[in-house]
Amino acid sequence: MAEERKGAVTMRGNPMTLVGPELKPGQKAPAFTAVGKGLAPVTLDQFKGKVKIIAAVPSLDTPVCDAETRRFNEEAAKLPGDVQILTISMDLPFAQARWCGAAGVDKVTTMSDWRAAEFGQKYGTLIKELHLLARAVFVLDKSDNVVYAEYVKEVAEQPNFEAALQAARKAAGA
């Protein structure tokens, strides 16, 4: 049975339970498999040697997630080439692709955790009551060590973009 962290985050003020551990800087990032475009498996290993910003969001079809993902897409252009931005949600890959096309988001790689919630459980972002991912941002260095982790306390609020971007630039040696 996975660890449960009751009241770790709130959704519009209501306490929610997160399933899985709370990752902290200095830890090795857990390997995971999610679902990408065309239902192909996507693994953390596919981004080896890159600095990764992983943004977990409840759904791209909500205003806060939409704004966050657009912001990361804009920021991607200003980051060193060895920084990869990944956004993961429970949205189906088809919905993610449709959303990216409609939003003109082309620098962020979307991944879906709907099949097994493996990412959510390993990164401690799975909201037990809703079977959605909580809003969180992780920055992993080129060797997949966690160098930054933020679990956004109120799921309806934005993450600290500047802190995450600064951690990614530092990990990229920029």
Q: Where are the alpha helices (DSSP H) in 1-157?
A: 63-76, 93-103, 118-122
- Cα distances from 69 to residues 18, 127, 128, in angstroms, run 22, 20, 23
Calpha distance 9→17 (Å, rounded) = 7
- Cα distances from 18 to residues 65, 116, 152, in angstroms, run 18, 16, 12
The single residue of 53, 65, 152, 171 carrying the catalytic annotation is 65
- Cα distances from 109 to residues 17, 57, 69, 125, in angstroms, run 27, 13, 10, 19
65 belongs to the catalytic site: yes
Residue at token pair 């459980």: 121
Catalytic residues: 65
